[in-house]
């Protein structure tokens, strides 16, 4: 809303401007239009009268009327009391002048003509010319006088009584502009309301957090624009923000509430960073513990493998065993070897997780890494009737990263995707995409599987957490650690098929810091 202090000078200046237009433009224009119409009607009427008189003469003597110049001069003679300067002449059909009453006519001129008839046939014309310079001169004098009077009134209104008010209003306007710029520049969201709790002002940060622009939010109830559930605010696009908010009443000089100012900030990233730090510390502790346990298991596991090999050799060298017993022993040994191999694989993954290899970064095209990871998994995907598609951004910027590690993460995510879709009915979809968003390179692995429930999305990257009976819970946590070590972020969400979508965000080459 604009203050009354801003309106008063503008209204007075507007009134002066309208007065100037009326006196300096509208009145002279009206005077000119009326004068023009009056002179035009005079010429038209005079031509009609002269035309009837000349036509009557022509009807009486159609053959010789062109030569009766004396009579024509008498008919068209100027009245002694008529002081107007008007030139009049009679023309035949060929445009020849039959008779002319000459006057010196100044430019610009108004020219009108009237046909001369003989029994309904045009035999010539009557033409009259008058100057409109006197009309223009009078109009100019009127315009100058009106402009002078208007400017004098305008200066009286503008300079003397309004000077002090104008200066005060200018200062108030500057302070108001400074306050608005300040509110637009701060990092907190600010919303002001009227006494009925309807929105008056929304700053730029509040627009970004709530999704409501100033034009859209103005006049709406504050509960419609800002409606958090405890400390969670869902904006117009459906994105959830964790916010911290506070309100302060705005009071007038009598202590009555004339509005409210709501100040809030988005602490989603802060909470996410704190949670990531806590999770990283927890994962590091779990990694150290898991590494110690895996190391302790490794030696007994080696002994078990040696014992299995010794039993296998002894049974193979023994000739006294019955074939049935030998087959049963071989089956048991195969099961023991498979179990030991699986334990060895889990132990190796735990060791890799607890002691990760430092990344070897190089400039790479991640589209090529995506295509290579798909080629590695393509045979498995086709055997399971999974439709694979890609949506790779053309001319993807170069990225400084460890291509082997990213490839390992992509293969792991693709494997998790087809395992999640195993046993499902209907069409099975898997898509790997790349894009550039806000200077970061984003890789997405999306599937049409059952997806990851929101309640489990904070846990899927924890070591040893899995929802599969045969899973070890190491793959996603290992992939998360790889992406984190590369300076990126690994997130899980919902795909366009309502399945799972794992999103890898990596810094572009320009975001890399020397080191």
Distance CA 483, CA 490 (A): 6
Distance CA 494, CA 445 (A): 11
Percent of the chain topping pLDDT 70: 79
State the average pLDDT for the chain: 79
Please state, as a whole number, how many other Cβ atoms lie within 10 Å of the Cβ of residue 285: 10
CB-based burial, 220-254: b 16+ in 10 Å, e otherwise: eebeebbebeeeebeeeeeeebbbeeeeeeeeeee
Please state, as a whole number, how many other Cβ atoms lie within 10 Å of the Cβ of residue 450: 13
pLDDT confidence tier of residue 292, bands split at 50, 70 and 90: low
What Rg, from alpha-carbon coordinates, does the chain have?
48
Concatenated DSSP letters of 17-62: HHHHHIIIIIHHHHHHHHHHHHHHHHHHHHHHHHHHHHHHHHHH-T
* 441 DSSP β-pair partners: 436, 506
Largest CA distance in the chain: 164
pTM attached to this predicted model:
0.42
Distance CA 77, CA 54 (A): 12
Range with the poorest average pLDDT among 15-19, 429-433, 478-482: 15-19
Check residue 494 and report its DSSP letter.
E
Check residue 252 and report its DSSP letter.
-
Task: Tell me if 188 sits within 8 A of 265, measured CB to CB.
Answer: yes
**What are the pLDDT digits (tens) for 227-267?**
888 888 888 888 888 888 888 898 888 888 888 988 988 88
Please state, as a whole number, how many other Cβ atoms lie within 10 Å of the Cβ of residue 180: 12
pLDDT confidence tier of residue 103, bands split at 50, 70 and 90: confident
Question: Are β-strands 399-401 and 386-391 bridged in parallel, bridged antiparallel, or unpaired?
Answer: unpaired
Collapsing DSSP states into helix, strand and coil, what is residue 346? helix
Could you give the angle at which helices 268-317 and 323-354 cross, rounded to 10 degrees? 150
What residue has token string 């604009």? 2
**What are the pLDDT digits (tens) for 53-94?**
777 877 777 777 777 777 777 777 776 666 677 777 888 778
Most confident of 21-35, 99-113, 282-296, 407-421: 407-421
In which element (H, E) is residue 335 found? helix 323-354
pLDDT confidence tier of residue 387, bands split at 50, 70 and 90: very high
């Amino acid at each position: 809303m604009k203050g009354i202090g801003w309106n008063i000078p503008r209204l007075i200046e507007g009134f002066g401007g309208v007065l100037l237009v009326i006196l300096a433009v509208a009145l002279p224009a009206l005077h000119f239009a009326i004068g023009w119409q009056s002179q035009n009607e005079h010429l038209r009427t005079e031509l009609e009268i002269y035309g009837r008189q000349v036509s009557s003469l022509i009807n009486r003597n159609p053959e010789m009327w062109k030569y009766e110049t004396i009579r024509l001069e008498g008919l068209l003679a100027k009245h002694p009391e008529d002081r107007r300067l008007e030139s009049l002449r009679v023309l035949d059909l060929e445009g020849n002048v039959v008779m002319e009453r000459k006057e010196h006519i100044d430019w610009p001129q108004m020219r009108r003509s009237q046909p001369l008839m003989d029994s309904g046939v045009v035999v010539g014309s009557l033409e009259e010319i008058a100057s409109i310079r006197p009309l223009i001169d009078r109009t100019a004098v009127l315009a100058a006088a009106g402009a002078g009077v208007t400017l004098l009134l305008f200066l009286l209104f503008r300079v003397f009584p309004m000077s002090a008010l104008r200066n005060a209003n200018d200062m108030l306007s500057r302070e108001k502009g400074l306050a608005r710029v300040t509110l637009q520049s701060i990092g907190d969201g600010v919303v002001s309301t009227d006494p009925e709790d309807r929105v008056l002002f929304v700053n730029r940060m509040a627009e970004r957090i709530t999704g409501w622009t100033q034009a859209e939010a103005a006049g709406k109830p504050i509960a419609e624009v800002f409606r958090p559930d405890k400390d969670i605010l869902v904006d117009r696009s459906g994105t959830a923000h964790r916010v911290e908010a506070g309100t302060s009443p705005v009071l007038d000089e009598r202590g009555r509430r004339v509005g409210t100012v709501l100040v809030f900030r988005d602490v989603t990233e802060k909470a996410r960073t704190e949670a990531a730090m806590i999770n990283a510390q927890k994962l590091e502790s779990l990694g150290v513990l898991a590494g110690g346990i895996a190391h302790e298991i490794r030696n007994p596991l080696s002994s078990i493998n040696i014992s299995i090999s010794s039993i296998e050799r002894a049974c193979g060298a023994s000739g006294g065993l019955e074939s049935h017993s030998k087959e049963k022993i071989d089956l048991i040994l195969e099961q023991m070897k498979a179990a030991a191999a699986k334990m060895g694989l889990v132990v190796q993954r735990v060791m890799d997780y607890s002691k990760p290899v430092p990344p070897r970064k190089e400039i790479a095209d991640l589209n090529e890494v995506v295509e290579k990871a798909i080629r590695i998994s393509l045979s498995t995907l086709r055997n399971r009737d999974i439709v694979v598609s890609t949506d790779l951004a053309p001319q993807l910027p170069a990225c400084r990263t460890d291509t082997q590690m990213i490839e390992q993460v992509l293969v792991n995510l693709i494997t998790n995707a087809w395992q999640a879709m195993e046993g499902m009915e209907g069409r099975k979809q898997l898509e790997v995409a790349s894009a550039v968003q806000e200077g970061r390179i984003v890789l997405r692995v999306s599937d049409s599987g059952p997806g990851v429930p929101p309640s489990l999305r904070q846990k899927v990257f924890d070591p040893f957490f899995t929802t599969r009976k045969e899973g070890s819970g190491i793959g996603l946590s290992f992939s998360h650690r790889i992406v984190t070590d590369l300076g990126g972020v690994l997130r899980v969400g919902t795909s366009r098929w309502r399945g799972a979508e794992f999103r890898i965000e990596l810094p572009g080459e320009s975001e890399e810091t020397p080191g």
